[in-house]
Structure 1
C-alpha cells in the first residue's frame, strides 16, 4: 500500500469520524479500526475475516463486538453489506443517500460499487405502478472483472 493510499484512508476515517460526531454518535477506536480495515481491503470482507485481522492487535476481540460495530457502520452508511456473499465493503461517499449497485467478481472477489440513476428511476416507476414504495435499493450483479476476463 502506497503513502497516497494511507493518506486517502486516513482522510476517509477522519471524514467518517466528523460525520458521526455531526450526527451525535461516537466514532470509537474500535469503529475506526474496523472501518479502516475495510478501507484497506478495498473489497468485500466477511465478519470473521475482520475478526481474525482485528485479533492481531486486539487479542480479546469477539464476534459479537465485530457484529455490533458492523451494525453501527451500516446504520450510518459507512459500509454496505453484500447480501449474496454475507460480506461487507466500505462506502467512500457515505455522506449522501444513494442507490447502490455492486459488480461482484466471482473469480477474484473484487467488488465495484456503481451508481445508475436511470436504474433507480426505472425501478421506482415500476414499483409505483403496482403500488409499492421502494425505500432502499441494492442490486448485486455477479460475473468476472476486467482483470479476470483476460
Structure 2
C-alpha cells in the first residue's frame, strides 16, 4: 500500500518532526519516547504495546509495561501516533501538524495500515455530529480489506 522507497527516511522524518513539535511546545522528548516512536515507525504496519516492550527490552534493561504505555500516551496526546482500536495497536502519524482527523485502510492479509486524509470526509463526520448535538473529541475511522498487493496475489 505504501510507496515507500527509503523507509529510513520515513523514520528520520517522523523523529525530526517529533523533536520540532516537542521543542515548540516546550515538552521533553526523552530517549524512551524517542525509542518508542522509532519502533512504531519500524514498518508501516501497526504495532502492539507489548511488541514495543519486547523490542525495547533488547535495547534498554528493566523496561516495564507502564513505561511503554506512558510513552505511547505522550505520543498520542501530541499527535505523533494514532491508536487503531480495532487492532489494539499503534501507527505513526505521517503529518502530525496538519490535521487531527484521518482514516486508515487496514489490510487484513498483510496487516499494513495506510493513513489517509480527506477534508470532505472529516467535514461530513463533524456535520453529522453537530446535527446530533454531539461534541467530537477525536475521530479515527478504520476500514478493513485487502490492499492492492495482497488482492492481486
TM-score norm. by structure 2 comes to: 0.89
- With 69-78 and 95-104 compared, the bigger mean Cα shift is at 95-104
Secondary structure of the equivalent of 2:115?
A: strand
- With 22-31 and 119-128 compared, the bigger mean Cα shift is at 119-128
Where does residue 104 of structure 1 map in the other structure? 106
1:82-121 aligned at under 5 Å gives the runs 82-121=84-123
Secondary structure of the equivalent of 1:98?
A: coil
Cα distance, 1:119–1:7 mapped onto 2, change above 3 Å:
closer
TM-score norm. by structure 1 comes to: 0.91
Where does residue 132 of structure 1 map in the other structure? 134
Q: CA deviation at 1:4?
A: 4.1
Where does residue 36 of structure 2 map in the other structure? 34
Where does residue 58 of structure 1 map in the other structure? 60
Where does residue 17 of structure 2 map in the other structure? 15
Cα distance, 1:66–1:15 mapped onto 2, change above 3 Å:
same
Per-residue CA distance 1:26-71 (angstroms, 9 max, x = gap)? 0001111111111122210000001111111112111111001000
Per-residue CA distance 1:80-119 (angstroms, 9 max, x = gap)? 0000110000112112333110111111110011112111
Higher relative contact order (CA 8 A, sep 6+): 2
Contact 2:82 2:92 in 1 (8 A): yes
Q: Which runs of 4+ in 1 moved over 6 A?
A: none
Count of equivalent residues? 149
